[in-house]
Amino acid sequence: MSQMSQTRTAIAETAAANDASAWVLIRAEALALCEREPVLRPLLTSQVIEAADSATIVARVLAARLARADVDTAALTALLQETLTPAILTDIQADLMAVRKRDPACTTYLHALLNLKGFHALQIHRAAHKLWNEGRVEVASWLANLASLVFGPDIHPAARIGSGIMLDHGSGIVIGETAVIEDEVSILQGVTLGGTGKETGDRHPKIRRGVMIGAGAKILGNIEIGAYTKVAAGSVVVKPVPAHCTVAGVPAAVVRIHSASEIPAESMDQNI
């Protein structure tokens, strides 16, 4: 056997040993998580614990994601109900009112409650955020991922989001771990509140009160978007933005200063 072949064999054997250790650890982690979070027990049992080998685990996990997770509805309902404190219910009511007021396609509160996936994703985030803050990070992350698969927005459960929020359409919205969104903000489809690379720590945007972010806008890094500002559709924002203005372009720049009475999140005026 050549030296190169021997090296490849040694690498493969090391990888196999590490692989075996990883899957053993994954099974142990799944068993422990079953004890902490009973709502996840059926999923973990079928996809990980009872799987014959690592290939079966991977295949079952991916197939379940593509087919949507098979969870017990009663257990999931109970999990959500325990997160719905009076304060969170107040925020949800404010979100309903915001959508009804700002979206011309929403003719009733019931329509928002039953049919608008941006609204649905936001309320799942409120539940996941509470669980995250209680230290239940695994079930919070699972719930956030499930919401992303079903509704579209990808919102990290640690992100802090105020009340009176409208995620219009919801499709393609990404909100990072350390993002902050204050009250009365409107965000349209395809918006990213992301980082700029591989930073750690506080690395995502801070969106102040009354802001409207147009479709497809990207706001990157730990920067502040001042209160009552409009970010035009398709803009890429990489620097802080002052209050009461409109920014547009790639990279975005201030193109208009507003009156103090203008509230872009409520007017939903897309014009620059």
Check if the beta carbon of residue 163 is closer than 8 Å to that of residue 94.
Answer: yes
Cis peptide before 264 (omega within 30 of 0): no
Residues of the chain with CATH 2.160.10.10: 74-267
* CA distance linking residue 216 with residue 189, whole number of Å: 6
The reported pLDDT for the residue numbered 62 is 67
Check if the beta carbon of residue 236 is closer than 8 Å to that of residue 252.
Answer: yes
Residue 206 φ/ψ, nearest 5 degrees? -120, 110
123 or 73: whose pLDDT is higher? 123
pLDDT tens digits along 126-183 = 999 999 999 999 999 999 999 999 899 999 999 999 999 999 999 999 999 999 999 9
Specify the CATH number of the domain 74-267: 2.160.10.10
Question: Considering the chain, what is the average pLDDT of its residues?
Answer: 88
Quick one: DSSP state of residue 224? E
pTM for the whole structure: 0.83
